[in-house]
Structure 1
Amino acid sequence: MEELIKLRRSIENKNYLKALQIVDELEEMSVEDKLNKIYSYMIVVLLHLIKQSAENKLTRSWELSIANSVKQINRTNQRRKAGGYYAQQQDLEEIINDAFDIALKGAAIEAFDGDYSQEELLKLIDPKKIKSQALSLVDY
């Protein structure tokens, strides 16, 4: 990683201000990576919750997929050494809102053998309830 080489050089040259700037960049990159992983797993959670709501059923496969994704979100979100979480409730709500449209698109392809468009599927569900349900599954 190029940043680590720059960090080492900055420390060796006793340019501590530059070194701290690089540390800040690395920290930001790490948090962004965590949030991107949470976003990806949240799409899966929402997709299955949308299908569950629309089709009024829950298959064992969907249940496993939801459970796995929630576990991965919670693991990714937890700050192990420092304690706490990377994403707080407000951050998770934003992630859920951002992920909902792509999850709806996927659910439209999968639910009812793809017979419904996104717009038609949206009429069969309560997005606010699904988003709330997704949020309730996640630790923060």
Structure 2
Amino acid sequence: MEEILELKDCLLNQQYDRAFAIVEDLEAMGRQDKINNLESFLVILLIHLIKIQVEGRVSRSWKNSIINSLLAIQKRNKLGKKSHFIKENNWSEHILNCQFEAILGAAKEVFEGMDYQEPITRDLKHCSWRNLYFLWRNNCIHKSYIFLSI
């Protein structure tokens, strides 16, 4: 809201360069908010894909959650009629951004929670639960691309 008031003030005082900069900032903030929202659904999707891979089974609720996440991603990713917030060739970057949170979420459910006595680090290869990480890296990223391209 503060930015809107500042924008109004700039326009009233004919400070158009500053007003244009504020508009660009607002646009970037809105875009980042959309991407954060998309990534939250991506984390849910990835958690269930990891659980399926690790447990070798799928439940009805997992299927429903996967479908709901995919539908939410598809609905929210539209930017006009022909464009998207996350382009088809940029999904790998966002999957990598979400992998740590997804692995932690899956570990909480699959392994009855990870041992938080050990330091939590983004360098997943050094965690004692690295087997989940390797399953994730080797199998689930490919499945994520398949689901996201539906």
Same fold, TM-score > 0.5, yes or no: yes
Contact 2:114 2:129 in 1 (8 A): no
Aligned length, in residue pairs: 138
**CA–CA distance in structure 2, aligned partners of residues 101 and 52 of structure 1:** 17
Q: 2:146 aligns with which of 125, 136, 140?
A: 136
Is 1:36 the equivalent of 2:36? yes
Question: Cα offset for 1:10?
Answer: 1.2
Relative to structure 1, the CA distance from residue 6 to residue 62 in structure 2 (aligned partners, 3 Å threshold; closer, same or farther) is: same
Partner of 2:26: 26
Relative to structure 1, the CA distance from residue 115 to residue 31 in structure 2 (aligned partners, 3 Å threshold; closer, same or farther) is: closer
Contact 1:74 1:139 in 2 (8 A): no
Partner of 1:2: 2
Question: Cα offset for 1:121?
Answer: 2.6
CA RMSD of aligned residues (A): 2.3
Unaligned runs of 5+ in 2: 116-127
Amino acid at match of 1:130: C
Partner of 1:122: 133
Question: Cα offset for 1:137?
Answer: 2.0
* TM-score normalised by structure 2 residue count: 0.81
After TM superposition, the structure 1 = structure 2 runs for residues 1-140 of structure 1, keeping only pairs within 5 Å, are 1-80=1-80, 83-111=82-110, 113-114=112-113, 118-123=129-134, 125-138=135-148
Determine what percentage of the aligned residue pairs are the same residue: 30
Relative to structure 1, the CA distance from residue 103 to residue 118 in structure 2 (aligned partners, 3 Å threshold; closer, same or farther) is: farther
Contact 1:38 1:76 in 2 (8 A): yes
Question: Cα offset for 1:36?
Answer: 0.8
